[in-house]
Structure 1
Amino acid sequence: MRDPRAPHGDAIRTAPPLMPGVVHLWVLHAEWPGVVEGLGCEGALGTEETARAAAYRSPRDRQTYVVAHLALRSLLSAYTGIAPDRLDLGRAPCPRCRGRHGPPVLRSVPAHAPYFSLSHSHGLAVVALAASPVGVDVQRAVREESALRCLGALHPHERQQLTELNGHQLALGFGELWVRKEAYLKGIGTGLCRGVAADFLGAPTPAAPPRPEGWSVHNVPLPHAGHLAATALRSTAPHRTVIHREATRTHRPTRPAPCTPEGTRT
């Protein structure tokens, strides 16, 4: 029996208006009963999406990928008026090798189509839509030892700020920084090909260098135990993130993931 609280097609097809400076973030639990059926059958996915879903070894990771992409198609359909299974979704070329494994893109884009980004990690899928280029990232929380191992990859000023923390605060600070970085790198279209040390996205203190010009990046509080998220929007002013279709449930304790968790590919 389908969970009556799970997102369903009629609800997700209600497209909120896109305003400048606002990111609409849709959060879905891939493990909720009936969530796939509520978004539409897997037949709505394209050939590339079906192949990528089949490549996941973990059934949980595969389900999360499917939910993220079905939700994206349902939402884009609401804004464009094109049926989910007729949307021409593909992959952008990789900025480094030009291979077709960059972020998802909508080919033959209608003039009124929104900008979008999606991410998924360990059972949680998020889709961000906005009126200007946008990026989103969600990750499972990291351990202190994982954060310590990864500090060397960061911008020098970010490393300096994080080394002033320890224990839980270090793990939290690193995790929040990491999702900000990935959200920004998705927003500009490069992903991790650009390198995580290229831009400063740490705390904006007087002694710190400026954050990337023309972009607003901030963390998004999620009432989902063990997950961190952030959104990035091309904007000259701080942006606002509005969460839709929140799907909360009681979480069992989970083992925190390493600094680059599995299951976060888009």
Structure 2
Amino acid sequence: MGPGELHFWVLPRPWTHTDPAPLPVDELDESEHARAAGLVRTGDRVRYLSAHVALRRLLSAYTNIPPRALRLGRDRCPCCGGPHGRPVLLDRPHGPVPDWPQFSLAHSHQVTVVALARATVGVDVRRVPPARAVRLCLPDLHPAEQAELAAVPGRHRPAAFARLWTRKEAYLKGLGTGLRRDPAADYLGGRRDAPARPAGWSVTDLPGPPGHPAAAAVRTQDHHRTVVRTLTADCLHAEDATELIADSRARTHRVPQTAARRPQE
């Protein structure tokens, strides 16, 4: 993974109890087990465990560190300084390794995605919501985003909203604030004559599964290549998934000029 590259991995469906091999949850740490145990619905627990096994196995393939030996932590929150900012990969008690991959994880219903880059990164995936949910969320957007979506014909508006919202969530996750930052503070729409997108970031749409738009935000001015791969179920079940991950078929996704252009200061 070189400078300016983004690696985007898609896990199309979670592990289920009907799969032929058990999920290797022993690779997760205590905090991940505690978080999973706190999820009431079985489906939510399955999705969480699947996503985090996938994340650890991907990070293991990129770092040559066994999945259970990886130390995951949190950066400081830019809003309050608390230890609940974006997730980071650690090798020592006092902080992340500067030259290791930065990563971000997101899941929505049956889909999990992971983004990795050499720069700070955020990713999001979202199932297209019903029209009623879009109407409720529209007032929370940047004024220019509201106007942009208002111009979209009604039947196409939910998909347009989902694409915009994934860009916004990806950027806020990259910042490490999440929705603690006002969603109306930043413009993440697609019009060239609208306000500039956040300076210093490349925010681009990604090819998620049908009905699930995805996007990533990379803190760089040189995001020029995105590599898209699918993480198969075998990668979750194999005793050692490193070779399976390395052999995964890649597709190169061209970064649109509107996303890759240098933002206005």
Question: Match for 2:58 among 63, 68, 75?
Answer: 75
Partner of 1:122: 109
Matched, 1:217 2:208: no
Matched-pair contact (CA < 8 Å) for 1:204–1:210? no
Partner of 1:253: none
Uncovered stretches (5+) of structure 1, i.e. residues with no partner: 1-17, 249-266
Matched, 1:50 2:33: yes
How many matched pairs?
A: 227
CA separation in 2, counterparts of 1:35 and 1:174? Answer: 38
Matched-pair contact (CA < 8 Å) for 1:80–1:110? no
Partner of 2:262: none
The aligned amino acid for 1:75 is L
CA separation in 2, counterparts of 1:61 and 1:73? Answer: 18
The aligned amino acid for 1:60 is G
The offset of 1:179, in angstroms, is: 0.4
The offset of 1:98, in angstroms, is: 4.6
The offset of 1:34, in angstroms, is: 4.2
- Any residues of structure 2 matched to 1:112-261 within 5 Å, and which? 112-206=99-193, 208-222=194-208, 224-245=209-230
The aligned amino acid for 2:44 is D
The aligned amino acid for 1:171 is P
The offset of 1:185, in angstroms, is: 0.9
Change (3 A) 1:35 1:154: farther
The aligned amino acid for 2:129 is V
CA separation in 2, counterparts of 1:19 and 1:104? Answer: 21
CA separation in 1, counterparts of 2:146 and 2:225? Answer: 27
The offset of 1:243, in angstroms, is: 1.4
- Any residues of structure 2 matched to 1:18-33 within 5 Å, and which? 18-28=1-11, 29-31=13-15
The CA deviation string for residues 154-186 of structure 1, in whole angstroms up to 9 with x for no partner, is 001111111111322111111100000000111
The offset of 1:99, in angstroms, is: 4.6
The aligned amino acid for 2:187 is F
CA separation in 2, counterparts of 1:126 and 1:211? Answer: 23
CA separation in 2, counterparts of 1:49 and 1:36? Answer: 21
The aligned amino acid for 1:54 is A
CA separation in 1, counterparts of 2:19 and 2:118? Answer: 30
Matched residues, percent identical? 47
Q: CA RMSD in A?
A: 2.2
The aligned amino acid for 1:69 is H
Change (3 A) 1:19 1:124: same
Matched-pair contact (CA < 8 Å) for 1:36–1:67? no
Matched-pair contact (CA < 8 Å) for 1:157–1:200? yes
CA separation in 1, counterparts of 2:21 and 2:140? Answer: 37
Change (3 A) 1:34 1:102: farther
The offset of 1:110, in angstroms, is: 4.0
SS at match of 1:197: helix
Uncovered stretches (5+) of structure 2, i.e. residues with no partner: 234-265
CA separation in 2, counterparts of 1:177 and 1:35? Answer: 38
CA separation in 1, counterparts of 2:20 and 2:115? Answer: 18
CA separation in 1, counterparts of 2:211 and 2:20? Answer: 21
Matched-pair contact (CA < 8 Å) for 1:138–1:229? yes
SS at match of 1:227: coil
Matched-pair contact (CA < 8 Å) for 2:142–2:185? yes
The aligned amino acid for 2:114 is V
SS at match of 1:25: strand
